[in-house]
C-alpha cells in the first residue's frame, strides 16, 4: 500500500500538540555536551531521555542524553484540579485547517483577496508554488538557499516544510482551491471574493473528508470494520449520522500514540520517478526533511508525486527503519542549521516518551477499554503479539502492566483485511466515527444552510486523490485510480482524462427573479448549425409574463436523424419553446425564449448547446 504523505497531511489537519518554549520563543535545551544539564540549570519541563553507555548508535558520539521537552499544559475540561492535560492547537474537525489555517490571522495572511484565491508564488516558468516564508528563524530556511532567492513555504500548518512529500500535498490542495475558485467565478460572475473563497474552501474540506473515508480508511481498517461501524460514505443522498451529543474532540491517545502507528510504515529510501515512469532515483528519508527547495525546480513536483504513489510502505509492526530510529533530523549537506544534530534522533523513543509525558495508561488498560482480553502476565500476550516482539518486551519491562501503549499495540498481529492490530484499530476507528458523527458541517449533512444540494453531493463523491493529483500537478498524465494501493491488473495506471470529473455547473446560482417583471419582453432566436458554421437571428417582442421554474435537461439528446419538439421553463423567468431537427448534414434549432429584462447568468441547455443571458440580451453558441 501507499499513502504515508497523505496520512501525515491528514494527521496535521487533526492534531498539533504544542511544547513549551523558553524566553522570547527560544527552544529549551535539556542536554549539553551529551549529558543532562544539572537540575538547578534545567527547565522544569525538561523530560530528557537517558542514553546508556552501551547504546551502539549514540555512544560513539559521546551522547548520554536525548533532548525532550514536555507538552504545554492545558486547563482541564471543568477547570478543576487533577492530572495534567494537554491541548490541541488545531481544530479537531477534519475541516481543511491544514490548508487554510486554524486562526483568523493565519487564514487572512494566506488569502489574496482577489477572486477568492489563495496567495501563490509564480515562478519564472509560470508555475505556481506556495507563498514563501521569509522568517529566517522558522527552523527551515537556510542562508545558502535564501541567497539564491529560494525560501521555505507558508501554508495553513506550520509543519508544511517537514518533508518534501508533505509540502507537495500542501501545494496541491492550495492549487485545488484556486482552480475551484476560478471555475466558480466563471460560472457566477456576480459572486464576490468572500463568496468565492468560502465556497471553494467548503468544497476542498468536503473533498478531504470524502477521500479520507472513501480511500484511506478502507485500506487502514479493512472492509469489515468499515461496514461494522458504518464509516463508509453514502452512495447517494444525505447522511443522518450527525449527533449533537457526540464529542468529536481528538483523544489524547489518538494524537499521542495510536495514530503515530504510521511511523512504522516509513521506508528508508524515498523514490522520485520521472514522467515516463521508467527512470527513478532514491534518496534517504532523512535527507528529505526540511528541504522543500527541490520544488523550485521545473519537473520536481511531478517526480516527487510519482515517487510517492510508487513507493511501497513497510508493514505496520514493531520493526522500524533505521532512518526513523537513528537518523531523524540528522544534519545533511553543507548548509544546515547549527542546531541540527550530528547524529539523528530516535522517533520511536520520542513517541514512547511523549505517551509517558501525557500520562497515557498502559497497553493492557487500553486492550480492556476496547473490549479485548486484558493480559495479566507476559504469557497472555502469546498469540496476541509476534514472538520476536514479545521477547523484547519481556526483556525491557518488569511487568506486563508497565508496557507502554505504543510498544504493545504495534506488536499485535494485524486484523484481517486491515493494516494494524485490534487495539489501534479500535482507537483509530472510534476517533474517525466521532469525527463524522460529531461534525455538524460534515459534507453529507442535510442541515441547512451548510448542506450541499443532492446534485452537488453527487459531484463531490466523484473526488479521488488520483484526480486531484492529475488536476493540480504540473504534467502528471498517468496515475492509478486508487493511489493508496499498488499498481496491479485491477488498479492499472490510467490516463488522467479517463478519471471521473466533477461538474461544477451544479454550483451555478441564478439570480432570483421576483414574481412580476417591470418590462417583460421575449426574443425569438433561430439558430442553424451546418458543417460547423452557425447562423442566428433574433427579434424582440412583448413578453407574455410566464415565470416557469424548471429547466428541461437536456433540451435535446438525439443520436440519429429525427425531429424533436419540446418546451419548458428554464428558471429566472425564462421559458423556451422550440424545435430541434437532426439530419445527416447538421442540426436545425428554432427556438423562442421569453424572459424578464433582468434575467442574468449562464444557463446550460445540454451538452453541446448553450445560451447566456445578460439582462435584455441573448447570446447563443454551439459546438459539435
Question: Which member of 12, 170, 286, 327 is catalytic?
Answer: 12
pLDDT at 601: 39
Count of Cβ atoms closer than 10 Å to residue 243 Cβ: 12
Mapped onto helix, strand or coil, the DSSP state of residue 170 is helix
For the chain, residues with pLDDT lower than 50 are 2, 334-340, 513-576, 582-587, 593-624
pLDDT of residue 328: 64
Task: Say whether 365 sits in a helix, a strand or coil.
Answer: helix
Q: What are phi and psi for residue 387, nearest 5 degrees?
A: -65, -40
**Cα gap 547→598, rounded to integer Å:** 13
What is the pLDDT at residue 619?
A: 33
Q: Cell 560513539 identifies what position?
A: 60
What pLDDT shows up at residue 332?
57
Distance of CA 168 to the CA centre of its chain: 11
Question: Side-chain half-sphere of 199: how many Cα atoms within 13 Å?
Answer: 25
Domains (range + CATH), the chain: 1-15+94-234+250-335+452-509 (1.10.640.10), 511-622 (no CATH)
Model's pTM, two decimal places? 0.81
Residue 214: helix, strand or coil by DSSP?
helix
In the block, which residue shows the cell 500500500? 1
Q: Is 389 exposed, middle or buried (0-12, 13-18, 19+ CB in 10 A)?
A: buried
Predicted local confidence at residue 342, as pLDDT = 59
pLDDT for position 343: 66
Q: Which of 598, 568, 578 is nearest to 525 (CA)?
A: 578
Q: Is 358 a catalytic residue?
A: no
Is the Cβ–Cβ distance between 581 and 565 less than 8 Å?
no
**Among residues 115, 97, 108, 148, which one has the least CA distance to residue 131?**
108
368 - beta bridge partners?
none
Contacts 24+ apart (CB under 8 A), 375-382: 375/400, 376/400, 381/408
First to last CA, the chain: 43
Residue 263 labeled ligand binder: yes
d(CA 527, CA 277): 48
Separation between Cα atoms, residue 495 and residue 478, nearest integer Å = 5
Amino acid at each position: 500500500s501507499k499513502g504515508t504523505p497523505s496520512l501525515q497531511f491528514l494527521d496535521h489537519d487533526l492534531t498539533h500538540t504544542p511544547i513549551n518554549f523558553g524566553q522570547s520563543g527560544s527552544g529549551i535545551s535539556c542536554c549539553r555536551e551529551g549529558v543532562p544539564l544539572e537540575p538547578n540549570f534545567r527547565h522544569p519541563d525538561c523530560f530528557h531521555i537517558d542514553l546508556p553507555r552501551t547504546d551502539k548508535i549514540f555512544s560513539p558520539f559521546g551522547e548520554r542524553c536525548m533532548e525532550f521537552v514536555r507538552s504545554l499544559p492545558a486547563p482541564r475540561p471543568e477547570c478543576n484540579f487533577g492530572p495534567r492535560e494537554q491541548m490541541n492547537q488545531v481544530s479537531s474537525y477534519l475541516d481543511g485547517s491544514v490548508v487554510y489555517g486554524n486562526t483568523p490571522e493565519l487564514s487572512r495572511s494566506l488569502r489574496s483577496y482577489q477572486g477568492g484565491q489563495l496567495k501563490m508564488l509564480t515562478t519564472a516558468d509560470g508555475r505556481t508554488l506556495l507563498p514563501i516564508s521569509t522568517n529566517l528563524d522558522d527552523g527551515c530556511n537556510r542562508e545558502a538557499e535564501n541567497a539564491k532567492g529560494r525560501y521555505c513555504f507558508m501554508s495553513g500548518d506550520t509543519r508544511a516544510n517537514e518533508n518534501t512529500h508533505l509540502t507537495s500535498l500542501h501545494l496541491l490542495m492550495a492549487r485545488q482551491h484556486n482552480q475551484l475558485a476560478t471555475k466558480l467565478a466563471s460560472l457566477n460572475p456576480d459572486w464576490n471574493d468572500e463568496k468565492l473563497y468560502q465556497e471553494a474552501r467548503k468544497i476542498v474540506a468536503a473533498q478531504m473528508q470524502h477521500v479520507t473515508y472513501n480511500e484511506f480508511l478502507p485500506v487502514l481498517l479493512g472492509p469489515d470494520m468499515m461496514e461494522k461501524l458504518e464509516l463508509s460514505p453514502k452512495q447517494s443522498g444525505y447522511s443522518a449520522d450527525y449527533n449533537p451529543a457526540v464529542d468529536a474532540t481528538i483523544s489524547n491517545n489518538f494524537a499521542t500514540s495510536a495514530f503515530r502507528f504510521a511511523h512504522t510504515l516509513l521506508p528508508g529510501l524515498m523514490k522520485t520517478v520521472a514522467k515516463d515512469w521508467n527512470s527513478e532515483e532514491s534518496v534517504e528519508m532523512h535527507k528529505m526533511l526540511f528541504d522543500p527547495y527541490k520544488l523550485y525546480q521545473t519537473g520536481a513536483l511531478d517526480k516527487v508525486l510519482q515517487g510517492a504513489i510508487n513507493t511501497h510502505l513497510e508493514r505496520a509492526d514493531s520493526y522500524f527503519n533505521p532512518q526513523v530510529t537513528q537518523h531523524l533530523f540528522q544534519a545533511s549537506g553543507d548548509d544546515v542549521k547549527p542546531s541540527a544534530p550530528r547524529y539523528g534522533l530516535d522517533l520511536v523513543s520520542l513517541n514512547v516518551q511523549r505517551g509517558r509525558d501525557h500520562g497515557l495508561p498502559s497497553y493492557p488498560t487500553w486492550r480492556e477499554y476496547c473490549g479485548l482480553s486484558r493480559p495479566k502476565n507476559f504469557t497472555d500476550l502469546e498469540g496476541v503479539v509476534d514472538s520476536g516482539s514479545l521477547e523484547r518486551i519481556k526483556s525491557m519491562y518488569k511487568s506486563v502492566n508497565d508496557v507502554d501503549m505504543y510498544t504493545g499495540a504495534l506488536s499485535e498481529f494485524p486484523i484481517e483485511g486491515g493494516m494494524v492490530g485490534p487495539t489501534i484499530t479500535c482507537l483509530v476507528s472510534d476517533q474517525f466515527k466521532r469525527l463524522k458523527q460529531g461534525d455538524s458541517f460534515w459534507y453529507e449533512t442535510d442541515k441547512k444552510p451548510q448542506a450541499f444540494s443532492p446534485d452537488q453531493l453527487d459531484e463531490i463523491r466523484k473526488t479521488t486523490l488520483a484526480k486531484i493529483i492529475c488536476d493540480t500537478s504540473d504534467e502528471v498524465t498517468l496515475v492509478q485510480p486508487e493511489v493508496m494501493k499498488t499498481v496491479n491488473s485491477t488498479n492499472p495506471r490510467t490516463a488522467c482524462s479517463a478519471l471521473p470529473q466533477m461538474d461544477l455547473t451544479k454550483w451555478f446560482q441564478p439570480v432570483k427573479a421576483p414574481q412580476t417583471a417591470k418590462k417583460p419582453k421575449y426574443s425569438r432566436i433561430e439558430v442553424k448549425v451546418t458543417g460547423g458554421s452557425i447562423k442566428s437571428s433574433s427579434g424582440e417582442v412583448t413578453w407574455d409574463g410566464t415565470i416557469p421554474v424548471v429547466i428541461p435537461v437536456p433540451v435535446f439528446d438525439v443520436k440519429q436523424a429525427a425531429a424533436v419538439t419540446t418546451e419548458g421553463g428554464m428558471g429566472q423567468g425564462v421559458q423556451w419553446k422550440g424545435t430541434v431537427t437532426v439530419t445527416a448534414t447538421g442540426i436545425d434549432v428554432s427556438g423562442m425564449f421569453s424572459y424578464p429584462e433582468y434575467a442574468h447568468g449562464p444557463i446550460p441547455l445540454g451538452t453541446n448547446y448553450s445560451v447566456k443571458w445578460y439582462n435584455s440580451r441573448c447570446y447563443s453558441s454551439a459546438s459539435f
